[in-house]
Amino acid sequence: MTTSTETRVGTYEAMFLATQGAAAAFGDLLGHINELFGRANAEVIAMKKWDERRLAFEIDKQKRGVYILAYFTCPTDMVAHLERDVVISDKLMRVLVTSAEHLTSEEIAANDDRAGLDIEAKARAEKSDSEETQGSSKVRLGAPVQEAPKPAAEPEAAPEAAAEGAAEESPTAEGDSKES
């Protein structure tokens, strides 16, 4: 008489809340989430970026966050391990895992945007690379360069004012010469 214990596998929906700092390196964030799924022996069915918005209240001194929605299958006893790993993570602030047994596979597949996530991760990486190269060209070693003070430029008189000034000077100059 042998007893075999079958591991029950369920379909779940998870909403991850990531910090803005982690979202700046979006590819690393996605890799981190996939690593957490791997530790939980979960298979990702669908994943997409749900939204990026201001939080209703600060969480760990963060005012904004990025929400990532994922559908996955996982042994039921490993869901608690996934939630614990998120609590330990410094890139993720929160997770909410619920059962998705009520959804059909078509409804879940409609939420799959992993290709879009990869495109966004590449775009963010390129943007941060270009910002780093622009920023590095502005960095200078040593003492700050001081520019030589510019001489104060005298305002030039308008041509009309110069002509009037010349006309006023000429009569007085002529008048002075007549009196002598």
Distance of alpha carbon 48 from alpha carbon 50, whole angstroms: 6
Q: Is the pLDDT of residue 1 over 60?
A: no
pLDDT in tens, 113-172: 888 888 988 888 888 777 766 665 555 566 666 666 666 666 555 555 555 555 555 555
Residue 39 near residue 85 (C-beta atoms within 8 A): yes
Domains of the chain, first to last: 9-128 (3.30.70.60)
Number of Cβ within 10 Å of residue 91's Cβ equals 17
pLDDT confidence of residue 124: 84
Residue 119 near residue 49 (C-beta atoms within 8 A): no
Q: Looking at residue 85, what DSSP letter applies? A: H
pLDDT confidence of residue 129: 75
Band of residue 180 on the pLDDT scale cut at 50, 70, 90: very low
SS3 102: coil
Rg (CA), the chain: 34
pLDDT in tens, 6-39: 789 999 999 999 998 888 888 999 999 999 999 9
Residue 41 near residue 53 (C-beta atoms within 8 A): no
pLDDT in tens, 100-114: 999 999 999 998 988
pLDDT in tens, 43-92: 999 999 998 999 999 988 889 999 999 999 999 999 999 999 999 999 99
